[in-house]
């Protein structure tokens, strides 16, 4: 671009061709569009992560003795914000893997006990709702003198691991009682 006195008002020469204001505007618009696209993508990823975390279940196992009434047992609690979908369970008695937490495992655990504990099964596909609490294995009327064998069972001999995920799936969370 040349002015009245023959002065050149052009924006310069790039690669042998004249760069004018239309080219600069187009390059700037393209850069802004790419930045906007990147920000939108980043926001979508952050929103998805937030949504997954906002419904994340958190299964916690606790050994309970004489807390409510006279019950004692192994309790599972969903302390998370969303439902937990059970994918698998592993039961070990005296270090031996005896399968999933189902009626067969209940029988194996209870077969040599003086009193049969009450049980709650968690099969694959079972749902533990947010805030739900259940005893996996318990005695309603626990007495230290009469039922010391039961406390030994749930603290030293029996391990139940529950594998679970959220509604989104694929997380592979795990809950097990803490070491005693």
Instruction: Round to whole Å and give the CA distance between 13 and 4.
Output: 21
Residue 9 has pLDDT above 80, yes or no: no
> Would you place residue 22 in the very low, low, confident or very high pLDDT band (cuts 50, 70, 90)?
confident
pTM for this prediction: 0.72
Mean pLDDT value across residues 57-77: 90
Looking at per-residue pLDDT, the higher value among 37 and 6 belongs to 37
CB atoms within 10 A of CB 89: 22
Residue 24 has pLDDT above 80, yes or no: yes
Instruction: Round to whole Å and give the CA distance between 59 and 165.
Output: 10
CB atoms within 10 A of CB 106: 19
pLDDT of 79 reads: 95
């Amino acid at each position: 671009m040349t002015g009245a006195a023959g002065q050149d008002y052009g924006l310069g020469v790039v690669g042998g061709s004249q760069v004018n204001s239309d080219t600069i505007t187009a390059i700037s618009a393209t850069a802004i569009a790419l930045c906007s696209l990147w920000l939108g993508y980043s926001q979508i990823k952050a929103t998805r992560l937030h949504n997954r975390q906002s419904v994340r279940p958190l299964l916690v196992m606790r050994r309970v003795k004489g807390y409510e009434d006279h019950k004692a047992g192994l309790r599972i609690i969903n302390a998370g914000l969303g439902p937990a979908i059970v994918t698998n369970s592993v039961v070990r008695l005296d270090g031996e893997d005896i399968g999933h937490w189902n009626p067969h495992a209940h029988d194996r655990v209870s077969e040599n006990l003086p009193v049969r504990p009450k049980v709650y099964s968690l099969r694959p596909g079972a749902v533990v709702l947010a805030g739900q609490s259940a005893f996996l294995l318990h005695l309603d009327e626990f007495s230290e003198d009469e039922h010391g064998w039961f406390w030994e069972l749930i603290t030293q001999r029996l391990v139940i691991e529950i594998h679970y995920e959220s509604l989104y799936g694929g997380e592979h969370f795990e809950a097990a009682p803490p070491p005693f």
